[in-house]
Amino acid sequence: MDYQDTLAYLYNSVPMFQQVGGTAYKEGLGTTLALDAHLGHPHRTFRTIHVAGTNGKGSCSHTLAAILQSAGYRTGLYTSPHLLDFRERIRIDGKPIPETYVVDFVERERPFFEPLHPSFFELTTAMAFRYFADEKVDAAVIEVGMGGRLDCTNIIRPDLCLITNISLDHTQFLGHTLAQIAVEKAGIIKPGIPIVIGETTAETRPVFLGKAQEVNAPIYFAEESHCEDYHNIDFELKGIYQQKNLRTLLTALPLLKKAGYRLDGQAVRHGFAHVVELTGLMGRWQKLHEHPTVVCDTGHNTGGIRYVAEQLLQQPCHTLRIVIGMVNDKDIDGVLALLPHNAVYYFTRASVKRALPEHELAKRAHEAGLMGNCYPDVPTAVRAVQKESLPEDFIFVGGSNFIVADLLANRNALNLH
């Protein structure tokens, strides 16, 4: 098999949450532990940092990796989902895993894993850990896929755990209250290992405190911490929600130093200032064009959209235009209620099975007081908004990772450089 054949095999043979949603979710760590034992427990050969949370965990993971790279560490980075190519999920020093490694791993390990029927994420996690071990990384930043307690990344014993925040997402698996979701995320808190909590609410704080006390883990709340003084730090990620991530990361850095990481001020500043270049991060308040301004963002739940909407209202422009699509298992009405009324909307759908039909999204948006027309796919919607826009307008594209993925996949055709 070549790389494309291998991807087709992975997508069709093992259930992929990114494409099909809930039917790909597999509870329990049995398969993960079997894969890990078969591959020789590769995660034990390098240091790790574990990052969970509803929003911000991707940005925090990439930024931590950028700082470690800037300090001279050979750094693995495991994140999900990908936007354009599967290989984005598994990187060393910003470079995606080679196609040949993916092909060879699947070919070699098929006889073992096929009878186990692993999920896509279970198999991908096993591949990432083996790759990092084979390539002898010094440390790896490992982002939780979903939840924490039963997530297949939760077999690692990291130097530091970090939970960014809790909001309502994946409620069908993690619970319908913030406290229930916090219990799942708090599952990454491990005996004796420091845990940083980025944001809390009255519901979630007692959960984190209780779990940390239960396993004797030192706990640090970023909202209360006195961060190391990096005066006027230049953070390349410009979404206003990134200020909370910044505080969380600044709370984590002294704990990493205490754990033995050599992170001088120059490395820290360089990492914050060059996250995108160093790690390949995409889709976080990413500017794609000027005159008119075109920005995309992967925020897709109420916790993330709240900040996006706030930032949209701050944009000086003639007309605010929003291209939006969502997937069918999110709090659609909750998201729509947060979006600005003074915008022209372009309702569309992403090219995945989970995508909500654009006419249904438009109907629910109209009920929420948001007006606009429907378009069958992202490129069609973006061409329409480009045709109608003045140079002084502001165009936002988002609502889902998959909308952003479709946009970025068509960047050149849409003249977004």
282 forms beta bridges with: none
Fold classification of 3-279 is UDP-N-acetylmuramoyl-L-alanine:D-glutamate ligase (3.40.1190)
pLDDT per position as a tens digit, 307-332: 999 999 999 999 999 999 999 888 89
- Quick one: pLDDT band at residue 25, thresholds 50, 70, 90? low
pLDDT digits (tens, 9 = 90+) for 128-180: 999 999 999 999 999 999 888 999 999 999 999 999 998 866 556 666 788 99
pTM for the model stands at 0.94
- What average pLDDT does this structure show over 182-187? 94
Average pLDDT over residues 9-31: 67
Q: Each residue of 74-93: pLDDT tens digit? A: 999 999 999 999 999 999 99
The more confidently predicted of residues 15 and 333 is 333
In the predicted structure, residue 212 carries a pLDDT above the cut 80? yes
- In tens, the pLDDT along 195-208 reads 999 999 999 999 99
| Listed residue (341, 353, 339, 314) closest to 399, CA to CA | 339
286-409 carries CATH number 3.90.190.20:
yes
Give the per-residue pLDDT at 226.
73
CA angle at 118 for the pair 12 and 114, rounded to the nearest 5°: 75
What CA–CA distance (Å, rounded) separates 286 from 335?
Answer: 20
Domain locations along the chain? 3-279, 286-409
What's the pLDDT at 173? 61
Higher pLDDT, 23 or 341: 341
